[in-house]
Amino acid sequence: MDQGKQTLIELLIGIGVCTCLLSIPGFFLKGYCLSFVLGVVSGAVLAVGLAVHMFHSLSRTLDLPKEKAEGYARKMSLIRLLILAAILMLAAFLGNTVQIAAMLLGVLSLKFSAYLQPLTHKYIFNKFFNKGR
């Protein structure tokens, strides 16, 4: 498996772990349990989409000549930012269904998983995906 795909899988595992951990406080919020958990989960789904888009954008950027690569990377970054802003604005209109703060926590699970990636690699990925190596 190439390094990029391995890192993406480790990020996705980290997002899943962070989502589970971030959802726990929602079960103790009376009256807000479902909207909090839905917010965290929907934010995590967005984080997965952003991570996959980032992976494909990076792969494509590395295949482009230097002159075009920088512009393409900026364009893809702007697209991710606009998608994030649009979905967060949609969540703001659905205030009773999804808590926007919880959704932001779910989106931030991408950042948390990036910091946890060395641990995910050491303790989870190598244990379950590299058995014979």
Give per-residue pLDDT as tens, 52-88.
999 999 999 999 998 899 999 999 999 999 999 998 8
Entry pTM: 0.85
SS (H, E, C) the chain: CCHHHHHHHHHHHHHHHHHHHHHHHHHHCCCCHHHHHHHHHHHHHHHHHHHHHHHHHHHHHHHCCHHHHHHHHHHHHHHHHHHHHHHHHHHHHCCCCCCHHHHHHHHHHHHHHHHHHHHHHHHHHHHHHCCCC
